[in-house]
Amino acid sequence: MGNIINFKTDWQVKLFIESRALREIGSGSEGTCYLGNDGKVYKLIEFENADPYVATEVVTEEEGPFQSFAFPEELYAVNNKLKGYRTRRVKQDLFAGENIFDFANIANLDFAAVSLAYKRMLLDIVGISSRKVLIFDLPFNIMFDGESFTAIDTCGYKKVNYDPLIDNLKSLNLAMESLFRLWFQSYQEFNEKIHRTDIDDFLSRVQSRIPKELYTNRDINLFDDDYDVKSR
């Protein structure tokens, strides 16, 4: 459940976060993120979902020190509805904004770093799954800083009463495939020599380096084209 600070109004949450903010660093469908004066990221949830996050049900860093997941460290709530939170900062995302054009060069890609980061995330997913945490919306909320993949905006993750490992691995591999296909497609605008075969070859190389012991007695295709994210 984590550390929850309760407020009486949404306005109080906004003032609390803004009092700690140095500058805005991004916004999305749910709200705005700020870099805090403590080096942390503060998110203000401004656009409430049809089904708001229940603060006491949000998965936090108390689930464990998972490097690949930026879980909330502190929650801000009004009547047990999540209105904001504090989390650690990911230093940069090489697959976002202008960085994609600087990084999108297969010849300069540090494949060893990508492969190691992928293995770390796989191991973290095994750990999270053992605690019966089902991940959510990973393809749209994953960052790569050159050394590590990090999942952000994790408030939709849920505790379940079954082993979610297979579902979580499918979500991870859908995220990886989507991320790299988007990357290559963006770069294709500048280099027509990159084709689907390059993408498939790259994904196969990543798959070949995954420690096989993670999938003992588990029937799973790591890059399953038939997997439909809408069905999850």
Topology of domain 3-87, per CATH? Phosphorylase Kinase; domain 1 (3.30.200)
Mean pLDDT of 52-68: 88
pLDDT on residue 179: 72
Local confidence band at 111 (pLDDT 50, 70, 90 cut-offs): low
Residue 177 phi/psi, 5-degree rounding, is -65, -45
Asked whether the beta carbons of 121 and 68 are under 8 A apart, the reply is: yes
Asked whether residue 42 carries a pLDDT value surpassing 50, the answer given is yes
3-state secondary structure at position 125: helix
What pTM does this model have?
0.77
Mean pLDDT of 55-82: 92
Q: What percent of the chain has pLDDT above 70?
A: 66
Q: Which of 122, 93, 121, 107 is nearest to 202 (CA)?
A: 107
DSSP string, 7-59: ESSHHHHHHHHHHHEEEEEEE-SSEEEEEETTS-EEEEE-S--SSPPBGGG--
For residue 129, what pLDDT band results from cuts at 50, 70 and 90? very high
Mean pLDDT of the region 168-181: 79
Phi, psi (rounded to 5 degrees) for 217: 60, 25
In this model, does residue 196 exceed pLDDT 70? Answer: no
